[in-house]
């Protein structure tokens, strides 16, 4: 076995590396870890058997580059083969690491088996050529394992098609494929929902963590990543016939998976566990049951397991009367928001949320749809106030953000905060900062800073959070000039100053926001009555006050 040492100041990365790769399959084992370069150097000096060094570039005390430099200066020390762990922004350091002996690098956002395995196999080939280890490289077996997983992913993807059961021949083929891999005794499906997954950890890491624990429990299994936040586990336990023993093993294994995911990735996990069945054609029902059960976490919260006994047997579709009642409740909240009486709209909001929680249970899609209707009502009211989403009131894309919340509690808290922001915006702040006078002043401040750049009424109106039409009317009323006239005046005044300093006309036109010198000259003459050339020639003869129309 080649011996591997991981050097990274992030414990999460070190823990994840244990799970990403099946190290024994590639004749390697992790034998040491360190949290910084200084600690790693001390370990390397104590033991002389490290073959491969996975080292982060940016670390406290001693960086990865400094560690590699120190290793090069120590003749008595065995020189492990370095592989650099880097972020996208560190390519200059990676180049320096290559000069110090690094054979390759792994970008942290791509920390999964697909990207790491080829790098490790490359290092193994290099070590084999050096004669450090006589073990043969079982690359063919590894590729075969990857191909099997890809085939299984395609099978599960097809099995998830909504109408697959209506296609008898296709469904039979798919469940037979699953049966060949898992068998037909004690079939169980588990849907895993993950909240708070970090971007640097891909769904492949999550899958690998689950696989490791399923292997430890000696369960035949398939793990399929639906998306970054959802996984499916299909498994069988033919060795068990007792329902009690079956439930105990399932619970203990899933609890361990939940703990590992929380430890390695700092995520919250809920799982829906289906019934156990024998036979060939039950997988579609088991998968749907598991997915339905795990959706309960939207209402019940995370860190829970949902078994078939948690399933609501009398689930009913939301009635049209209830939809009408909730829609009317949303409109009433919006009406009260426009009145200067905060307790009234908050009381109505509490009534609305109680009704939603009590009556729209266990249907997350329906709850989100009803809340989307409420957001539309809020958006309509904002439009009437000449306010845009993302202008005076966050968020910029509320309907997209609505989909990102994993629990009803979090969703309602977010919507209530939006209502609070809207109330403050149209009542408290409008008296101070957002009165018509303040809107125009804010627009002028922005224009004064950016008039020499590409500028439009649309850009400025978005900045101050009102519509173009509303800003145009306010501007003309309070400034006494149109937006275009105001910007043009600023540009011409600046061009006069630059002409006095001796700048060329072509240079000035670009500096004051006109890409075309001829257009600049026309605008200058329109405002001042003379061309830029004439103005420059007459600077010593004609007083600026005679030319300046501003």
Bridging pattern class, strands 220-227 and 230-236 = antiparallel
Q: Give the model's confidence band at 199: pLDDT under 50 very low, under 70 low, under 90 confident, else very high.
A: very low
pLDDT at 271 over 90: yes
How do residues 380-415 score in pLDDT, each as one tens digit? 888 887 777 765 566 778 888 888 888 898 899 999
Q: Are residues 281 and 305 in the same domain?
A: yes
Q: Are residues 107 and 256 in the same domain?
A: no
CA 84/CA 98 separation, integer angstroms: 9
The answer to whether residues 383 and 273 touch, using CB atoms and an 8 Å cutoff, is: no
Q: Are residues 172 and 122 in the same domain?
A: no
The answer to whether residues 51 and 4 touch, using CB atoms and an 8 Å cutoff, is: yes
β partners of residue 305: 271
Q: Which residue has the higher pLDDT, 228 or 160?
A: 160
β partners of residue 189: 234
Q: Give the model's confidence band at 547: pLDDT under 50 very low, under 70 low, under 90 confident, else very high.
A: very low
pLDDT at 190 over 90: yes
Give backbone dihedrals phi and psi of 230, rounded to 5 degrees, phi first.
-140, 130
- The predicted pLDDT at position 136 comes to 43
Instruction: Determine the length of the chain.
Output: 550
| Buried/exposed code over 310-325 (b: 16+ C-beta within 10 A; e: otherwise) | ebeeeeeebeeebeee
Least confident of 223-232, 407-416, 463-472: 463-472
Angle at 183 between CA 225 and CA 114, to 5 degrees: 30
- Which of 89, 112, 138 is the endpoint of a domain? 138
Q: Are residues 184 and 114 in the same domain?
A: no
For 129-154, the DSSP string reads HHTS--PPP-HHHHHHHHHHHHHHHH
List the CATH number of the domain containing 457: 1.10.10.60
Over residues 6-35, the mean pLDDT reads 88
| Cβ neighbourhood burial of 369 (10 Å; 0-12, 13-18, 19+) | middle
Bridging pattern class, strands 81-86 and 104-107 = parallel
Q: Are residues 277 and 366 in the same domain?
A: no
CA 375/CA 415 separation, integer angstroms: 8
Q: How many domains does the chain have?
A: 4
Over residues 303-331, the mean pLDDT reads 80
- Which of 276, 310, 344 is the endpoint of a domain? 310
For residue 532, the Cα-to-chain-centroid distance in whole angstroms is 52
- The predicted pLDDT at position 265 comes to 67
Q: Is 161 inside any structural domain? A: yes
pLDDT at 152 over 70: yes
- The predicted pLDDT at position 347 comes to 94
Q: Is 315 inside any structural domain? A: no
Q: Are residues 247 and 273 in the same domain?
A: yes
- Which of 310, 333, 351 is the endpoint of a domain? 310
- The predicted pLDDT at position 540 comes to 60
The answer to whether residues 455 and 513 touch, using CB atoms and an 8 Å cutoff, is: yes
Q: Are residues 126 and 200 in the same domain?
A: no
SS3 106: strand
Q: Are residues 93 and 227 in the same domain?
A: no
CA 52/CA 28 separation, integer angstroms: 9
The answer to whether residues 391 and 464 touch, using CB atoms and an 8 Å cutoff, is: yes
Q: Which residue has the higher pLDDT, 192 or 60?
A: 192
Angle at 347 between CA 343 and CA 350, to 5 degrees: 140
- The pTM of this model reads 0.57
- Averaged confidence pLDDT in the chain: 82
The number of beta carbons lying within 10 Å of the beta carbon of residue 225 is: 18
CA 284/CA 275 separation, integer angstroms: 12
Cβ neighbours of residue 490 under 8 Å, at least 6 residues apart?
Answer: 447, 448, 451
- The predicted pLDDT at position 541 comes to 42
Q: Are residues 114 and 154 in the same domain?
A: no
Q: Please name which of 56, 66, 69, 57 lies closest in space to residue 101, comparing C-alpha atoms.
A: 69
Helix (H) or strand (E) holding 200: none
CA 261/CA 12 separation, integer angstroms: 11
DSSP 162: T
CA 236/CA 277 separation, integer angstroms: 9
- The predicted pLDDT at position 94 comes to 66
Q: Are residues 174 and 304 in the same domain?
A: yes
The answer to whether residues 61 and 37 touch, using CB atoms and an 8 Å cutoff, is: yes
Q: Give the model's confidence band at 192: pLDDT under 50 very low, under 70 low, under 90 confident, else very high.
A: very high
Cβ neighbours of residue 26 under 8 Å, at least 6 residues apart?
Answer: 117, 120, 121, 124, 138, 142
Full domain range(s) for residue 108: 2-138
CA 182/CA 176 separation, integer angstroms: 10
Q: Are residues 425 and 499 in the same domain?
A: no
């Amino acid at each position: 076995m080649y011996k591997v040492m991981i050097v990274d100041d992030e414990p999460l990365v070190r823990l994840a590396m244990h799970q990403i790769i099946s190290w024994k399959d590639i004749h390697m084992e992790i034998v040491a870890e360190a949290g910084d370069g200084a600690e790693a150097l001390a370990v390397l000096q104590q033991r002389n058997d490290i073959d491969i060094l996975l080292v982060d570039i940016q670390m406290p005390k001693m960086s990865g580059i400094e560690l590699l430099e120190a290793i090069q200066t120590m003749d008595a020390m065995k020189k492990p083969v370095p592989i650099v762990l880097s972020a996208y922004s560190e390519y200059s350091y990676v180049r320096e690491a290559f000069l110090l002996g690094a054979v390759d690098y792994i970008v942290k956002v791509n920390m999964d088996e697909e990207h790491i395995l080829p790098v490790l196999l490359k290092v193994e080939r290099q070590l084999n050529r050096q004669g450090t280890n006589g073990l043969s490289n079982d690359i063919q077996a590894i590729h075969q394992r990857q191909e099997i997983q890809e085939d299984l992913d395609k099978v599960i993807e097809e099995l998830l098609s909504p109408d697959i059961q209506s296609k008898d021949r296709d469904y039979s083929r798919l469940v037979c494929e699953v049966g060949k891999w898992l068998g037909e005794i004690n079939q169980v499906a588990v849907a895993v929902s993950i909240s708070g997954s970090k971007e640097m950890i891909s769904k492949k890491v999550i899958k690998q963590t689950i696989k490791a624990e399923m292997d430890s429990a000696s369960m035949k299994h398939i793990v399929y990543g639906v998306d970054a936040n959802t996984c499916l586990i299909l498994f069988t336990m033919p060795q068990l016939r007792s329902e009690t023993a079956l439930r105990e093993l399932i619970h203990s294994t899933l609890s361990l998976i939940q703990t590992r995911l929380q430890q390695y990735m700092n995520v919250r996990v809920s799982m829906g566990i289906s019934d156990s069945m024998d036979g060939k054609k039950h997988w579609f029902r088991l998968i749907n049951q598991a997915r339905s059960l795990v959706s309960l976490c939207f209402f019940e919260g995370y860190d829970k397991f949902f078994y078939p006994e948690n399933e609501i047997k009398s689930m009913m579709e939301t009635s049209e009367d209830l939809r009408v009642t909730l829609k009317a409740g949303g409109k009433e909240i919006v009406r009260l928001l426009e009145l200067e009486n905060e307790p009234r709209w908050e009381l109505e909001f509490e009534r609305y949320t109680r009704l939603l929680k009590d009556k729209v249970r266990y249907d997350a899609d329906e709850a989100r749809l009803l809340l989307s209707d409420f957001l539309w009502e809020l958006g309509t009211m904002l439009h009437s106030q000449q306010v845009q989403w993302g202008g005076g009131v966050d968020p910029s894309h509320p309907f997209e953000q609505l989909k990102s919340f994993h629990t009803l509690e979090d969703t309602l808290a977010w919507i209530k905060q939006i209502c609070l922001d809207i109330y403050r915006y149209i009542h408290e702040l409008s008296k101070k900062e957002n009165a018509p006078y303040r809107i125009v002043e804010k627009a002028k401040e922005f224009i004064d800073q950016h008039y020499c750049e590409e500028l439009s009424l649309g850009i400025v109106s978005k900045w101050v959070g009102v519509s173009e039409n509303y800003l145009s009317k306010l501007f003309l009323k309070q400034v006494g000039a149109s937006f275009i006239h105001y910007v043009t005046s600023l540009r011409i005044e600046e061009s006069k100053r630059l002409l006095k300093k001796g700048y060329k006309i072509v240079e000035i036109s670009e500096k004051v926001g006109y890409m075309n010198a001829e257009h600049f000259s026309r605008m200058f003459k329109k405002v001042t009555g003379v061309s830029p050339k004439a103005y420059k020639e007459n600077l010593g003869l004609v007083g600026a006050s005679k030319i300046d129309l501003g």
